[in-house]
Amino acid sequence: MTTNDTTVEQAGFHHGIVPEVLHEDPASKPVKFYQVGSFAVGNRLLPLEVRSVQSDPNRTNALTSGHRACQGCGEALGARYALDAAMAAVDGQLVAVNATGCLEVFSTPYPETSWRVAWLHSLFGNAPAVASGVAAAYKAMGRSDVRVVAQGGDGGTVDIGFGCLSGMFERNDDVLYICYDNEAYMNTGIQRSGATPPAARTATTQAVGEDPGNTFGQGKDLPRIAMAHEIPYVATASVADLRDLEAKVRRAMSMRGARYIHVMVPCPLGWGTASSETLSVARLATQSGLFPVFEAEYGEVVASSPIRRQVPVEDYLKVQKRFAHLFAPTKRQDVIDRLQAQADRNIRRYNLLPTGAGTEGTV
């Protein structure tokens, strides 16, 4: 990567060629408005006009209250922020298409709906194609103002919906697809998906036998596969940094063509974490390097969010019951080391620890 922006570089926030729009975004400003002792963003410290979409009393509430997600659901949180940001970015001219999954089921139990946007659910594996159809229809009708977002979980995205997603990317259809990745099929009862990490316990990769949990050497890195399509925009984000998620959705909606955002959304039920720990475990994922947060344009990484205070992957693993078999009855240091090696590779690949980064504050 090359560096061409000393202000941003000095701030240690973004590294590399920073898209112009990010300079305008408060989350990207070289201002440390994080609260001391935590990584929570101090939105109230900012002037009104640059506060988050979510703090706007006139926000859409795209996914409004009363839905039936579990307590502490990362997907509900991510979807609410993402769609509110998208609605704000396109002046409410939005249609959302949803794959089958938790998000669809908990938001629309007949005869109720939590969606305050035009919303369509068709099937598990076809959300990208349905969204392409909606986009084609509005294009045919001369309504370039109406924009389309498709969304689904990791199963609906990296596995069963992958063919349609790749087709949508390849045609460069004018759709933003958002994957809420909780690393397994949670809606059906926590089964392994192509996004389940190695060693994780799921109902179909159980914590039994000589090598408990999911197998090493498998799985898909969908952001990188998306980049290989050379579409205009690919980004990863996490519910650990919701201002960053909002900024990336806004950035995506400022572009045309196929765009992809992959959001890390912990699942308390599937991961075996307390409902109150969703954000902190998501933060451990990014701060360990296991989940790299970056942006790419036309197949090339243009920015990444440096680790602010590096933690060993062990800190991330030990708070989750799905990895409990790595710590008892005997500690599997060999497995932990292999996962650490994955994190180290991400840190190298996305330059997550530029000089001076990684030692800030406490988690």
Partner 1 sequence: MRTQIEGSLAVAQAVAACRPQVICAYPISPQTHIVEGLSAIVKRGELTGCEYVNVESEFAAMSVAIGASAAGARSYTATASQGLLYMVEAVYNASGLGLPIVMTVANRAIGAPINIWNDHTDSMSQRDSGWIQLYAETNQEAADLHVQAFRIAEELSLPVMVCMDGFILTHAVEEVDVPEQADVDRFLPPFEPRQVLDPANPVSIGAMVGPEAFTEVRYLAHDRQMRALELIPQVAADFKEIFGRDSGGLVHTYLLDDAETVVIALGSVLGTIKDVVDERRARGEKIGVLGITSFRPFPLKAVEAAIGNAKRFICLEKAFSVGIGGIVASHVRMAMSSHPIKNYTVVAGLGGRPILKGSLHGLLDKAVTDSLEPLTFLDLDTDLVERELARTRAGGRSGPAAENMLRDLGASRVPTA
| Contact with partner 1 (CB under 8 A) among 1, 31, 70, 105 | 105
Nearer to partner 1, 96 or 339 (CB): 96
First to last CA, the chain: 28
How far apart are CB 168 and partner 1 at their closest, in Å?
Answer: 8
Candidates 11-19, 162-170, 231-239, 301-309; binding stretch for partner 1 (CB under 8 A):
162-170
Record the tokens describing residue 122, joined without a space.
């068709």
Contact in structure between 250 and 225 (CB atoms under 8 Å): no
| Contact with partner 1 (CB under 8 A) among 13, 81, 138, 180 | 138
Dist. CA 345–CA 63, nearest whole Å? 36
Candidates 169-177, 195-203, 270-278, 344-352; binding stretch for partner 1 (CB under 8 A):
169-177
Among 339, 344, 347, 292, CA closest to 318: 339
Record the tokens describing residue 304, joined without a space.
């990444």
| Contact with partner 1 (CB under 8 A) among 24, 56, 170, 337 | 170
CA angle at residue 315 from 237 to 249, to 5 degrees?
Answer: 5
Contact in structure between 314 and 338 (CB atoms under 8 Å): no
| Contact with partner 1 (CB under 8 A) among 46, 95, 307, 339 | 95
Candidates 27-35, 137-145, 282-290, 334-342; binding stretch for partner 1 (CB under 8 A):
137-145
Q: Characterise 263 by phi-psi region: left (phi > 0), alpha (psi -120 to 50), beta (else).
A: beta
How far apart are CB 122 and partner 1 at their closest, in Å?
Answer: 5
Residue labelled with tokens 């039994």? 208
Binding flag, residue 233, partner 1 (CB under 8 A) = no
List residues binding partner 1 (CB under 8 A). Answer: 92-95, 97-98, 104-105, 108-111, 113, 115-123, 125-126, 129-142, 146, 163-164, 166-167, 170-171, 173
